[in-house]
Structure 1
């Protein structure tokens, strides 16, 4: 059963956009109010420890300048160890605004009562290195349908080859055409069966890949 958000995010036209981001790990659609939130959700989807994401899960009442207001934190994140955190995504330039500081205090107090963590995330964490550019490629091609046997074939080829560039690995996967190979290797990287440093450089033929620790068998 899908959980209802505390506040429905309505699609609007103009300079403020609304996004719906698919979580590839479970096919749920996560609603976002900004590009920054959208890209944060893509990081959550890539995080193997994240099991569940909810958008705007609670509405918290607070007073500011004599008026009662309601604060809707952006996301509730549940990880495989049962840990729960509430996350507020904000541009760094807006984190020192007095009203936002009040929201952060209210959010932290609420989480303390629940035994949860409260995190503020900015573009500094979301756009580190080349991670977002690489997730663009991985989500586009790595989500395409592939034969299970082809995935196993690429994985076994990498096990036999050892650490190598994507280009070298492709040359050893002689049973697959180029398109099928790239669908497989990108899917294996996205689901972290194969390791590639997605922060240091953009994915290319020269990217080094290796078996992800714990995936040898």
Structure 2
């Protein structure tokens, strides 16, 4: 698992440090679980594995429980410890990133549900190459966003944001290709549309990974990176 978050290493209150470390550990555990959910959901589709898809759906309940536990722990920290400055930023950032992790789990469960449907209806004739490629990319984005969170690495967080722009372009290209195929051969419209929904879910997962990266920048630099261009963020991070 990722190394201890450096923000957690220096506090006057050892109890405060312990509270933060406990919730941070649970957050990283949840992150690892949702990353695996995404990988398994995509694999269940590509391998026509209905049992694996069912496992992904069942694990969504575990993710939901972790989200609730993390929210409760962060609320208690705010109520009892009254953190300020960088500690407060970390609590706020983790709270927002926690929501994004849960939503990644929801998207993985959605992919698994579509995979089960395609297992029954028959594989789609198109779109699996794009699914494999974009699936691998978003899984890497999740891992790198969580690693940036653990190490408070604003530059790596920026790279995650740049990767999201690439995902968006590839998603749009894949969608155009599949729409053209459906027009040319309408016999497989339903199955191809299902694959398009999978690609849409993967694109949203990339968005959530970007959101987590934005929270890293907020923790480290203290400014809101949402609704800000990558170029502006890069200038602020590098102090230009």
Q: TM-score, normalised by structure 2?
A: 0.27
Higher share of residues assigned helix: 2
Query: Taking CA–CA contacts closer than 8 Å with sequence separation of 6 or more, which of the two structures ends up with the larger relative contact order?
Result: 2
Q: Which has the higher strand share?
A: 1
The higher radius of gyration belongs to: 1
